[in-house]
Amino acid sequence: MTAPELAEEVLDDLEVLRARDPRGLLPAVAGAGAQVRETARLVEEAGLARVAEGGRPRGLVIVGRREGAVAASVLRALLGPASPVTVDVVPGPDLPVWTGPTDIAVVATRTGAGRYAVAPAYEAARRGVTLVGIGAEDAPLRAACSTARAPYVPLPHSRVQGTTLWSLLTPLLKLATDLGLVADATADLALIADALDEVARECGPAQESFVNPAKTLALELLDALPVIAAEGPLAGAAATRVADQLETLAGLPVTTFRLPDQRVAARAVLGGPLAPRDGADDFFRDRSEDAGRRLRLLTIRDTDAGDHDGQGEREPRSASEAMQEVLRTATGANVPVSALAEYGEPERYGRMCRLARQLAVADFSAVYLALALDQERALRS
């Protein structure tokens, strides 16, 4: 276990961070806003708008794994249950059997290679399904889309694995607005890019730990077993991303609960045998005396999740009420709590901009934690 004071020294030493980051994860995460702007330009050049000329589809099938699946889940949660178009997220290589000419299939992948990307594209073309491809510039998926005369968004090779979420989500948001499924103001790409730039300034490596929300969260997670409570479907999609980043980059096991439907399980874990029950958490305690990692609750809020999530269910039905119950359980069991990107004035941002800030802070935190633990070099040694 890395001592917190040593970890803080690492996070505030730019030369050490650079040495421990051979893939350039920090610059890649910091460039998320630029990634949105560049991808938006590539979307326009690809002629994605012509897909909407055929009218609103019956269903939208998004083929994606990891970051592609997260991007698809964000779109599905944003549309919500009132969406006039069904949104299905599949990993590939097979399309759902019901997919046909009245549907749109989007293959969203960083590389655009492998049977999980190429096979669905050729299958969509064979069935007469409207196809959209997102992938690397010279990928086999591009050839498949060219054969089907389908638009293809070519991503530059500079995209770093694990940091391309916004390259995959940007075309999906643009497609949804072109189809009239999402209001332009809700998915304003310029505002989203600005929000990501703002987080990059607040959480960049030059900002010291005591004023850097991402470094602070990384230090809090240094000896933690993270338990994520997400308020509603959109926060639940964000939780999937946060958990994947912490697991993949920092090697932490993470448990996620979407509220209100997983409220009972979340409370059982927070009040269960792994809860500390030995007084309030003390950041300055001697870590050498700890028996192991300690539970820490990480909340992801979405104030627009809705007052109720399903009529006829047992109380509480709303995600916000369930979150309050979970927080009370954590307090009663002495489980420390971290709130993701609730600092500053979150109410001045729209829903997607708040989500962008949350995901950006989480990405920075996962990278900082991996670098503090020297996980990047350890995995490649």
Mean pLDDT, to the nearest integer, of 283-302?
76
Considering the domain architecture, whether residues 93 and 232 belong to the same structural domain is answered as no
Mean pLDDT, to the nearest integer, of 268-291?
70
Whether 301 is in a domain gets the answer yes
Considering the domain architecture, whether residues 113 and 221 belong to the same structural domain is answered as no
Answer whether residue 287 shows pLDDT above 60. no
Considering the domain architecture, whether residues 245 and 350 belong to the same structural domain is answered as yes
Whether 26 is in a domain gets the answer no
Of 187, 217, 237, the last residue of a domain is: 187
Is the Cβ–Cβ distance between 349 and 185 less than 8 Å? no
Considering the domain architecture, whether residues 216 and 123 belong to the same structural domain is answered as no
DSSP for 39-64, written as a single string: HHHHHHHHTGGGGGGG---SEEEEE-
Span 369-381, pLDDT tens digits: 999 999 877 666 5
**pLDDT score recorded for residue 284:** 56
Span 224-279, pLDDT tens digits: 999 999 999 999 999 999 999 999 999 999 999 999 999 999 999 999 999 986 65
Helix%, strand%, coil% for the chain, nearest 5: 50, 15, 35
**pLDDT score recorded for residue 375:** 86
Considering the domain architecture, whether residues 251 and 324 belong to the same structural domain is answered as yes
Mean pLDDT, to the nearest integer, of 178-189?
96
| Whether the model pTM is above 0.95 | no
Number of domains in the chain: 2
Whether 346 is in a domain gets the answer yes
Question: Which CATH number characterizes residue 296's domain?
Answer: 3.40.50.10490
**Domain range for 354:** 4-21+199-379
Angstrom CA distances, 85 to 49, 106, 195, 336, stand at 18, 14, 28, 41
Answer whether residue 308 shows pLDDT above 80. no
Exposure letters 31-56 (e unless 16+ CB within 10 A, then b): bbbebbbbbbebbeebebeebbeeee
